[in-house]
Amino acid sequence: QVQLVESGGGLVPAGGSLRLSCAASGRTFISKTGWFRQAPGKEREFVAVISSSTSITAHADSVKGRFTISRDNAKNTVYLQMNSLKPEDTAIYYCAASQRSWGSPEYAYWGQGTQVTVSS
């Protein structure tokens, strides 16, 4: 089993920045960790993903150039640096971990989420 705990959400004005953290615990091998978000009335969407063993990352087109995913393996923590935030970035942000291959959409482990609100 893997436990994921997100932190770092909050209220920020448009153009501001936040850094989300996802701390993982457990002994299960994880191949990749992703960030997802869900806005009110909308479906959950992919934001970014990072491989556990390489430096490979991927970001959704909607956040490219503004958000950056990174990891600190010594701390078992994955980060999402969010800059130039827009009101449309308002959502609950979830961290998720997967044991599947890079291209698989399956994530077995999910955190509880952290609220990000961007005011206009």
Q: pLDDT tens digits, residue range 92-103?
A: 999 999 999 999
The tokens 């970035």 sit on which residue?
A: 89
Output the pLDDT for position 98. Answer: 96
pLDDT at 29: 87
For 54-100, write each residue's pLDDT tens digit.
Answer: 879 999 999 999 999 999 989 999 999 999 999 999 999 999 999 99
Sequence-distant (≥ 6) Cβ neighbours of residue 43 within 8 angstroms: none
- pLDDT per residue as tens digits for the range 34-55: 999 999 999 999 999 999 988 7
CA pair distance 117, 120, nearest whole angstrom = 10
Q: What pLDDT is stored for residue 27 in this prediction?
A: 82
How far is it, in rounded angstroms, from Cα 76 to Cα 83?
23
Of 58, 41, 47, 30, which is closest to residue 82 (Cα–Cα)? 47
